Amino acid sequence: MKFPEKPKTKKQVYLDNAATTQVDFEVQKEMEKYISESFANPSALYATGQETRKVIDQSRKTIAKILSSQTDTVVFTSGGTESNNLAIFGIARKYQNSGKHIITTRIEHPSVLEPIKQLEKQGFEVTYLKVDQNGQVNTKEFLEALREDTILVSIMYANNEIGTINQIDKIGREILKWRKNQKTQFPYFHTDACQAACTLDLSVERLHVDLLTLNGSKIYGPKGVGVLYKRRGVELEPLVFGGGQESGLRSGTENTAGIVGISKALELVEKTKKEDIKKLRDYLAQEILEKIPNTKLNGLELDSEKRLVNNLNISFAGIEAEALVLYLDEYGIMCSTGSACSTGKREKSYVLKEIGLNKENIKGSIRFTLEKNTTKEEIDYAMEYLPGVVEGLRSV
């Protein structure tokens, strides 16, 4: 095995922003006060407690505005996983007497698929929609899956592995039509927008969703904090019981610093320059596909409007992706084999399988995800070593 010589000064080039992003300095600054100085419990009656309450209310207002919604529709949680669980179990348990059918897709994040699997064990029927070779849901197939007893539809806004964006607004409009024709309030429509929040429109009015999941850790905000948007009139059975915080939907002392952080992060995200990220992503893609033989782009074309601008998923034939990730780390280059959440289990990507990749291409697939501060120098640094490492691994 012959690998490129190690750099004299090792850089840190982080290309795994779909796993989590670095906290923006402005977000950190905003949060600091609520970690130490303003620590009072927002339920306390004295002035400092009431101040914290005010800050939480202000954050809720800021987020509601970004979602084009009312303040009381924003529920704070511990992250994307909890928001997804609350949406799915919350609806299923509240409305199980109205129907026991759920529609979702085969390429959802595990934090959607696993709760739904649990419900399946408890007697719910589930339709797992297939996706096309790009990872998109077919609206016609979706309509065919709708039933009188469908109470919930959960379809992700953008996929975490291949960056494919679904037409949530179109599906939302179809659901509205169905409800009107059937004279029913069902199904409710949930979307996991964790990967979408950095670059896509989050107006729940335009998307026609009843529930929407966000988290801090994918938008240059803190980890361990999330939002569940819940349209007025939609009811949820809580998952966590206790002091009745978050209008009884999520008990527990509020994570003030986290809430301030996710609110600031969402505000900043609106300033993200999509074009700049896309240019660099396209540059990296072009370099890899031109300079490294037997490589293949997975998912939609780079110029498609339906692909997240920061996502690149590439198969390197004849290589074990885990090995490539570990070797690249030696040079300070961080990327991923797909979803961080399933890496530990060493399972091959079900997302890539569903879009029809063969075993060989799944095995050698790597996800590079850029961020707003990624530089051309970083991409060039990565390209100094990537071709050599691939060649080294292929010569084993």
Ligand X SMILES: *Cc1c(COP(=O)(O)O)cnc(C)c1O
69 belongs to the binding site for ligand X (CB under 6 A): no
80 belongs to the binding site for ligand X (CB under 6 A): yes
Interaction pattern, residues 87-126, with ligand X; x per rule: CB under 6 A: ----------------------x-x---------------
The only residue of 64, 74, 194, 335 in contact with ligand X, by rule CB under 6 A: 194
| CB 212 within 8 Å of CB 281 | no
Give the binding range for ligand X (CB under 6 A) out of 76-84, 259-267, 269-277, 289-297.
76-84
Question: H-helix or E-strand containing 290?
Answer: helix 274-291
Give the binding range for ligand X (CB under 6 A) out of 58-66, 75-83, 252-260, 294-302.
75-83
- Cβ 79 to ligand X, closest distance in Å? 3
Q: ∠ CA 365-368-369 to the nearest 5 degrees?
A: 140
- Cβ 111 to ligand X, closest distance in Å? 5
**356 burial class (0-12, 13-18, 19+ CB within 10 angstroms)?**
exposed
Give the binding range for ligand X (CB under 6 A) out of 26-34, 51-59, 77-85, 266-274.
77-85
Interaction pattern, residues 303-342, with ligand X; x per rule: CB under 6 A: ----------------------------------------
Select 52 or 217, whichever has its Cβ closest to ligand X. 217
Judged by phi (left if over 0) then psi (alpha if -120 to 50, else beta), residue 102 lies in beta
In the complex, residue closest to ligand X by CB? 80
> Catalytic residue numbers?
341
| CB 129 within 8 Å of CB 228 | no
Select 79 or 99, whichever has its Cβ closest to ligand X. 79
Q: Which of 55, 74, 56 is nearest to 64 (CA)?
A: 74
Question: H-helix or E-strand containing 342?
Answer: helix 340-343
Q: Which residue do the tokens 């490294």 mark?
A: 292
Task: Report how far apart the first and last C-alpha atoms of the chain are (Å, whole number).
Answer: 6
Select 192 or 319, whichever has its Cβ closest to ligand X. 192
The only residue of 160, 245, 263, 295 in contact with ligand X, by rule CB under 6 A: 160
Select 199 or 295, whichever has its Cβ closest to ligand X. 199
At 385, list the tokens: 């070593």
- Cβ 323 to ligand X, closest distance in Å? 24
Torsional sign, CA 58, 62, 67, 68:
positive
The only residue of 134, 136, 217, 255 in contact with ligand X, by rule CB under 6 A: 217
Q: Which residue do the tokens 């004849």 mark?
A: 318
- Cβ 187 to ligand X, closest distance in Å? 20
Q: Which of 24, 54, 25 is nearest to 38 (CA)?
A: 54
Select 366 or 390, whichever has its Cβ closest to ligand X. 366
Question: H-helix or E-strand containing 370?
Answer: none
Interaction pattern, residues 174-193, with ligand X; x per rule: CB under 6 A: ------------------x-
The only residue of 166, 195, 245, 295 in contact with ligand X, by rule CB under 6 A: 195
228 belongs to the binding site for ligand X (CB under 6 A): no
Please spell the DSSP secondary structure of 122-152, one letter per residue. TT-EEEEE-B-TTSPBPHHHHHHH--TTEEE
Select 218 or 307, whichever has its Cβ closest to ligand X. 218
Select 150 or 166, whichever has its Cβ closest to ligand X. 166
Q: Which of 118, 289, 356, 83 is nearest to 194 (CA)?
A: 83
- 99-to-96, 185, 211, 323 alpha-carbon distances in Å: 5, 12, 18, 47
Select 135 or 226, whichever has its Cβ closest to ligand X. 226
Give the binding range for ligand X (CB under 6 A) out of 43-51, 212-220, 242-250, 296-304.
212-220
Report how far residue 192's alpha carbon sits from residue 340's, in angstroms, rounded to the nearest whole number.
17
- 166-to-135, 162, 186, 203, 325 alpha-carbon distances in Å: 8, 12, 21, 15, 29
Give residues in contact with ligand X (CB under 6 A). Answer: 79-81, 84, 109, 111, 156, 160, 192, 194-195, 215, 217-218, 226
